[in-house]
Structure 1
Protein backbone atom coordinates (compact mmCIF):
# COMPACT_ATOMS: atom_id res chain seq x y z
CA UNK A 1 0.00 0.00 0.00
CA UNK A 2 1.32 3.43 -0.86
CA UNK A 3 2.30 5.87 1.84
CA UNK A 4 -0.01 8.62 0.56
CA UNK A 5 -2.98 6.26 0.69
CA UNK A 6 -2.11 5.23 4.22
CA UNK A 7 -1.78 8.82 5.39
CA UNK A 8 -5.24 9.64 4.00
CA UNK A 9 -6.93 6.89 6.02
CA UNK A 10 -8.85 7.71 9.18
CA UNK A 11 -7.74 6.21 12.49
CA UNK A 12 -10.36 3.44 12.40
CA UNK A 13 -9.54 2.58 8.78
CA UNK A 14 -5.85 2.55 9.67
CA UNK A 15 -6.50 0.09 12.51
CA UNK A 16 -8.63 -2.11 10.22
CA UNK A 17 -5.96 -2.17 7.51
CA UNK A 18 -3.27 -3.01 10.08
CA UNK A 19 -5.36 -5.91 11.39
CA UNK A 20 -5.99 -7.21 7.86
CA UNK A 21 -2.31 -7.01 6.95
CA UNK A 22 -1.27 -8.72 10.18
CA UNK A 23 -3.75 -11.52 9.55
CA UNK A 24 -2.49 -12.01 5.98
CA UNK A 25 1.08 -12.01 7.25
CA UNK A 26 0.23 -14.68 9.80
CA UNK A 27 -1.41 -16.85 7.15
CA UNK A 28 1.55 -16.52 4.78
CA UNK A 29 4.01 -17.39 7.55
CA UNK A 30 1.92 -20.42 8.43
CA UNK A 31 1.83 -21.56 4.80
CA UNK A 32 5.58 -21.10 4.52
CA UNK A 33 6.15 -23.22 7.61
CA UNK A 34 4.13 -26.00 5.94
CA UNK A 35 6.51 -25.95 2.99
CA UNK A 36 4.73 -23.66 0.55
CA UNK A 37 7.44 -21.31 -0.68
CA UNK A 38 5.21 -19.27 -2.97
CA UNK A 39 4.60 -15.66 -2.11
CA UNK A 40 7.95 -14.78 -0.55
CA UNK A 41 7.81 -11.34 -2.16
CA UNK A 42 4.30 -10.86 -0.84
CA UNK A 43 5.53 -11.79 2.62
CA UNK A 44 8.21 -9.10 2.47
CA UNK A 45 5.71 -6.57 1.18
CA UNK A 46 3.23 -7.35 3.93
CA UNK A 47 5.92 -6.93 6.58
CA UNK A 48 6.70 -3.50 5.19
CA UNK A 49 3.01 -2.58 4.99
CA UNK A 50 2.45 -3.57 8.61
CA UNK A 51 5.47 -1.51 9.63
CA UNK A 52 4.21 1.51 7.66
CA UNK A 53 0.75 1.24 9.19
CA UNK A 54 2.15 0.97 12.70
CA UNK A 55 4.55 3.86 12.10
CA UNK A 56 1.83 6.20 10.89
CA UNK A 57 -0.43 5.16 13.75
CA UNK A 58 2.35 5.95 16.21
CA UNK A 59 3.10 9.27 14.50
CA UNK A 60 -0.53 10.25 14.97
CA UNK A 61 -0.43 9.26 18.64
CA UNK A 62 2.64 11.39 19.25
CA UNK A 63 1.58 14.21 16.96
CA UNK A 64 4.93 14.05 15.20
CA UNK A 65 3.85 14.22 11.57
CA UNK A 66 1.97 17.51 11.89
CA UNK A 67 5.00 19.35 13.24
CA UNK A 68 7.33 17.79 10.69
CA UNK A 69 4.97 18.66 7.85
CA UNK A 70 4.90 22.30 8.92
CA UNK A 71 8.69 22.42 9.15
CA UNK A 72 9.12 20.67 5.82
CA UNK A 73 6.78 23.10 4.10
CA UNK A 74 8.69 26.05 5.57
CA UNK A 75 12.12 24.78 4.47
CA UNK A 76 11.73 25.48 0.73
CA UNK A 77 10.64 29.04 1.51
CA UNK A 78 13.71 29.59 3.70
CA UNK A 79 15.97 28.10 1.04
CA UNK A 80 14.51 30.38 -1.64
CA UNK A 81 15.00 33.46 0.54
CA UNK A 82 18.60 32.51 1.27
CA UNK A 83 19.27 31.95 -2.43
CA UNK A 84 17.82 35.38 -3.29
CA UNK A 85 19.99 37.04 -0.68
CA UNK A 86 23.08 35.29 -2.01
CA UNK A 87 22.35 36.38 -5.59
CA UNK A 88 21.75 39.96 -4.46
CA UNK A 89 25.07 40.00 -2.59
CA UNK A 90 26.85 38.54 -5.59
CA UNK A 91 25.27 41.18 -7.87
CA UNK A 92 26.37 44.00 -5.54
CA UNK A 93 29.97 42.76 -5.52
CA UNK A 94 30.15 42.92 -9.32
Structure 2
Protein backbone atom coordinates (compact mmCIF):
# COMPACT_ATOMS: atom_id res chain seq x y z
CA UNK A 1 0.00 0.00 0.00
CA UNK A 2 2.85 2.37 0.83
CA UNK A 3 4.33 1.95 -2.66
CA UNK A 4 0.99 2.75 -4.29
CA UNK A 5 0.54 5.86 -2.16
CA UNK A 6 4.11 6.96 -2.93
CA UNK A 7 3.41 6.85 -6.66
CA UNK A 8 0.14 8.78 -6.53
CA UNK A 9 0.11 12.45 -7.39
CA UNK A 10 -2.10 14.98 -5.63
CA UNK A 11 -4.92 14.80 -8.17
CA UNK A 12 -5.11 11.01 -7.99
CA UNK A 13 -5.00 11.12 -4.19
CA UNK A 14 -7.93 13.56 -3.98
CA UNK A 15 -9.87 11.57 -6.60
CA UNK A 16 -9.69 8.36 -4.55
CA UNK A 17 -10.23 9.68 -1.01
CA UNK A 18 -13.79 10.93 -1.34
CA UNK A 19 -16.64 11.01 1.18
CA UNK A 20 -18.00 7.74 -0.22
CA UNK A 21 -14.77 5.94 0.67
CA UNK A 22 -14.91 7.10 4.28
CA UNK A 23 -18.59 6.14 4.48
CA UNK A 24 -17.69 2.70 3.11
CA UNK A 25 -15.03 2.31 5.82
CA UNK A 26 -17.72 3.08 8.41
CA UNK A 27 -20.02 0.47 6.83
CA UNK A 28 -17.21 -2.08 7.00
CA UNK A 29 -16.70 -1.29 10.69
CA UNK A 30 -20.41 -1.71 11.41
CA UNK A 31 -20.52 -5.03 9.51
CA UNK A 32 -17.47 -6.22 11.47
CA UNK A 33 -15.44 -6.62 8.27
CA UNK A 34 -12.71 -4.38 9.66
CA UNK A 35 -11.90 -3.60 13.28
CA UNK A 36 -11.93 -0.06 14.61
CA UNK A 37 -8.20 -0.34 15.34
CA UNK A 38 -7.43 -1.32 11.74
CA UNK A 39 -9.66 1.45 10.41
CA UNK A 40 -7.79 3.97 12.55
CA UNK A 41 -4.45 2.63 11.26
CA UNK A 42 -5.72 2.96 7.69
CA UNK A 43 -6.83 6.55 8.31
CA UNK A 44 -3.48 7.37 9.93
CA UNK A 45 -1.73 6.07 6.82
CA UNK A 46 -3.99 8.16 4.58
CA UNK A 47 -3.38 11.22 6.74
CA UNK A 48 0.38 10.65 6.76
CA UNK A 49 0.58 10.52 2.97
CA UNK A 50 -1.80 13.45 2.57
CA UNK A 51 0.49 15.48 4.82
CA UNK A 52 3.60 14.37 2.91
CA UNK A 53 2.01 15.44 -0.36
CA UNK A 54 0.62 18.67 1.10
CA UNK A 55 -2.98 17.70 0.37
CA UNK A 56 -6.03 18.52 2.46
CA UNK A 57 -8.56 15.65 2.37
CA UNK A 58 -11.63 17.80 2.90
CA UNK A 59 -14.06 15.01 2.05
CA UNK A 60 -13.47 13.44 5.46
CA UNK A 61 -15.16 16.48 7.01
CA UNK A 62 -18.43 15.55 5.28
CA UNK A 63 -18.29 11.82 6.00
CA UNK A 64 -20.37 9.76 8.40
CA UNK A 65 -17.13 8.30 9.75
CA UNK A 66 -16.13 11.71 11.11
CA UNK A 67 -19.47 11.98 12.89
CA UNK A 68 -18.98 8.50 14.37
CA UNK A 69 -15.52 9.44 15.66
CA UNK A 70 -16.87 12.65 17.20
CA UNK A 71 -19.57 10.66 19.04
CA UNK A 72 -16.97 8.18 20.25
CA UNK A 73 -14.76 11.01 21.55
CA UNK A 74 -17.70 12.60 23.39
CA UNK A 75 -18.68 9.26 24.91
CA UNK A 76 -15.11 8.53 26.05
CA UNK A 77 -14.83 11.95 27.66
CA UNK A 78 -18.18 11.42 29.47
CA UNK A 79 -17.08 8.13 30.99
CA UNK A 80 -13.83 9.35 32.47
CA UNK A 81 -13.61 6.48 34.95
CA UNK A 82 -13.45 3.97 32.09
CA UNK A 83 -11.74 6.16 29.52
CA UNK A 84 -9.60 4.29 27.05
CA UNK A 85 -6.86 6.88 26.59
CA UNK A 86 -5.19 5.07 23.70
CA UNK A 87 -8.46 5.01 21.74
CA UNK A 88 -9.06 8.67 22.51
CA UNK A 89 -5.54 9.59 21.36
CA UNK A 90 -5.98 7.62 18.12
CA UNK A 91 -9.31 9.29 17.41
Which is richer in helix? 1
> Could you state the TM-score of these two structures normalised by the residue count of structure 2?
0.43
| Higher gyration radius (CA) | 1
